[in-house]
Chains A and B, each alone.
Chain A
Amino acid sequence: MVTKLPKVDVVTVGVGWMGAIVALELTKAGYKVVGLERGKDRSIADNLHQHDELRYGYGLRAELLRDPAKDTFTHRHNENQSARPFRSKMSVTMGVDVGGSGSHWQGQAIRFYPYDFEIRSKTIERYGVGRIENWMALQDWGITYDEIEPYYDKMEKTLGVSGEEDPVGVKRSNPYPNPPMPDTPLLKLFREAAKSSGYHPFSSPGAIATESYKNPDGAQYGACQYCAYCMFFSCEYGAKADPAVHVVPLAKKTGNYEVRTHAYVKRILYNGNKATGVLYVDTQTGEEFEQPAEIVALTAFQMNNVRLLLLSGIGKPYNPKNGTGVIGRNYTDHTLYPASVGYFEDKKFNLYAGSGSNVIAVTDFAGDNVDHTKLDYLHGIQITCSQLGLLPIGYYSTVPYGTPTWGKEFKKNLLHYTYRNVVLSGQIGFIPSKYNYLDLDPTYTDEYGDPLIRITNDYTDNDKKLAQLVLDKQEELLKAMGVDILDKGIVPEHPHQFIGTHTAGGAIMGEDPETSAVNSYMQMWDMDNLFVCGASAFPHHGVGNPTNTAGALTYRAAEGMIEYLKNGGSQ
């Protein structure tokens, strides 16, 4: 028995960054929006008393992550393997509740490069068509950097981004709304080492306000206190941008927005090529509801957007055997996350302080910043030195390689090196592979019996070469920092269980309905009142973290939705 509810203008599936942006833009324009959120309600009041590593910290009880008991993802490296479910919470760091992953995120707000948005054309233009290898699913995004720039600007103002201009970065129409994070003594040392090595270090942009800040919509940010309980925590000060704190309340204030929690969407409903609404279940009562809407906006976690399309039979599923179909193609992520560690004997740093955005980055090798003519890989890397705030359980393994990991000697080392270490990390751009994709798992289901998403994904040689480059540069920079012990990371052969946060693709944007699911307004080619917002639209993954780009694209999508509601029809 399904209860049919009154029709609204827009229903969003999920209330994280994408759902909150759609809600605020559309309610401001006078439209009625319902946000369906499978988790529970959250507000700034829930952010108090977060200074508890065991309860929230990564690898621990991680309260702000989705419980995989209800539904998860399966993974395999190639088509010859049977996929296994990620059974533990740590495998996919996906958020839960109102705010979604936008509550526990680190807050890095980086832009992709002009090269990214026209990656196929620009690669051919600079290096010739011969550089596009057979396995590569490289394609242009259907939008240029100049076209997306105003939306980046808007997103960064919403987020209250603090940052420093990247000397080798992209052109910006406006400076960052907040001054950069302060350099800690460790970050200062890294900055100097990078400079002396001939690179261009800068304070990486982060969605954490360094000063009291009011964004253009009127949301108030407090100033960051560098309290260290940041990534995997939600902010007690309203300094880290959080949709539950800085966007959802404003949308509610318009009187046009309702958030319905414990609402798990099972299907998109449609008639011919028009979406008519969604079917959801109230997870607290088991009751099923139909929510009709003029526009359906998928604003869930990237993989769940793709899953809903596949479960609902919308769009042609991707077939890796012949490269046809669109839903599920071009899966990419940032699982290859190489890190190296250095230890000092005579220096001790204030590592207990920090935030998700106390980060110095070097992007000299990012995107297409260097000439790849003589290199045997495409795309690039960034190296970062971060002072996220040391938490004592998560950092217990930071002792030099080869020393005991428990017992008397371990304890001595642990106490000695806790504040005498530096971890350099790095991210790489992922060239999409024809063999990395998403589909529905034939075996494993969620608690309602619906198939889970299956990820088929392995590293390519390009990925591994970039990861090696990260490690080589880390080694160079750690030496320049004067470390006494240098533990260089290694490149893993295959993705392991940790699938990271930055998953992308599966309902990608583009210019051609044969090779993309949505246009540059995130509007389904096959169904013009269905918008699929978020990193699911990325045809590949740039070097930077995804949220800024996903949010910018969603601001554009919101414009498209308003246009659709005003005039009807496709863009």
Chain B
Amino acid sequence: MAKKEMNKDSSLNKGVPDSSRRKFLKNTGIVTGGVVGGAVLGGFLGTFSTTTKTAVTQKSVNYTEALQFFKRKEDFDCLSAASESIFPEDENGSGAIALGVPYYIDKQLAGPWGKNAEEYRKFPFQEGESLLTRVDIFMIGLRKLNEISQLNKGVLFKDLTEEEKIRILQDCESGKLDMGKANSAIFFSLLKQSTIEGCFSDPLYGGNKNMEGWKMREFPGAQMSYINEIKNDFKVIPPKSVSDHFNM
């Protein structure tokens, strides 16, 4: 994996002046088996430059892959499986799980977004308006997915066949699935939107692991300038994350 990654990177880098930091990151990727995200390293490099050597030589742990919001394993497993069905791993590259999407969504639900903090919440709520927060909708939706799976197939959602998962999610999307207080179509659109966010947001938020989402999409990320590219034809430019901006 590490080797493949290095080759891919160096082909992308053809003709592009490489900063020493990029080389350093690539080397780090080799040493650590490619498990360290750019954002994590960025943090190390930026904040604790004296501990850089430690970061390189020790086996690295991604301390951000733990739960802030979810408590029950079956809820988080269900989220992981559903997000993977929305953005599955294929011959083009990683799916939602490998990109860290479930951890991304967990972090988002733990913050102001999950609580709909920036929303006008005054009464009266009219027909079609819902008081439910994103946290409420996710919990109702995910538990319903597990409940239905168990009712129909005797297993959790994650253990269904891919076809069965897709069928249930299609019912969600069309609003056919009865979710009680929640609307299944709204649950699905939240799930889909946040899955896409986790695939393509800056890795600083816990998804888009190793910028794999961007690499797959050929998105160059947080480049400071395209002044030499604006008139040119498309070309693949190795991505940068916001963390690069803190180490210049």
Contact = CB atoms under 8 A, between A and B. Distances in A.
Interface stretch (A84-92, A250-258, A306-314, A366-374): A84-92
A527 to B, nearest CB: 31
A496 interface: no
Interface stretch (A20-28, A182-190, A286-294): A182-190
B90 interface: yes
Interface in B159-205: 166, 169, 173, 192, 195-197, 200-202, 204-205
B50 to A, nearest CB: 24
Best-surrounded residue of B85, B166, B204, B227 (most CB of chain A within 10 A): B227
B223 interface: yes
A325 interface: no
Nearest to A236: B224
Nearest to A71: B120
A354 B227 CA distance: 9
B223 A227 contact: yes
A53 B201 contact: yes
A444 interface: yes
A408 B124 CA distance: 42
Contact of B234 (A68, A350, A405): A350
Contacts of B246: 49
A348 B234 contact: yes
A218 interface: no
B234 A412 contact: no
B122 A445 contact: yes
Given A87-B119, A184-B230, A352 B220 contact: yes
A226 B120 contact: no
Contacts of A227: 223-226
Assign chain B's interface to a size class.
35 or more
Interface string A45-81: 0001101111000001100000111011000000000
A348 B223 CA distance: 19
B232 A418 contact: no
| Chain B contact surface mostly | loop
B118 to A, nearest CB: 5
B245 interface: yes
A393 interface: yes
B201 A419 contact: no
Contacts of A182: 230-231
B126 interface: yes
Contacts of B62: none
B202 A52 contact: yes
Interface string A380-403: 000000000010110010000000
Given A52-B202, A182-B231, A227-B225, A67 B118 contact: yes
A366 B3 CA distance: 57
Interface string A340-358: 0000000011111110001
B226 A185 contact: no
A72 B231 contact: no
Given A349-B234, A350-B235, A392 B120 contact: no
Interface string B59-102: 00000000000000000000000000111101010000000000
B16 interface: no
A411 B87 contact: yes
A61 B225 CA distance: 24
Interface in B208-239: 213-214, 216-227, 229-235, 237
10 contacts: A53-B202, A67-B118, A69-B119, A185-B233, A227-B226, A349-B234, A350-B226, A352-B223, A352-B237, A393-B201
Top 6 closest A-B pairs, CB basis? A353-B226, A51-B222, A225-B225, A392-B200, A54-B201, A348-B234
Interface of B: 85-88, 90, 92, 113, 117-122, 124, 126, 129, 166, 169, 173, 192, 195-197, 200-202, 204-205, 213-214, 216-227, 229-235, 237, 242, 245-246
Given A51-B202, A82-B126, A225-B224, 5 more contacts: A51-B242, A69-B120, A393-B201, A411-B88, A419-B234
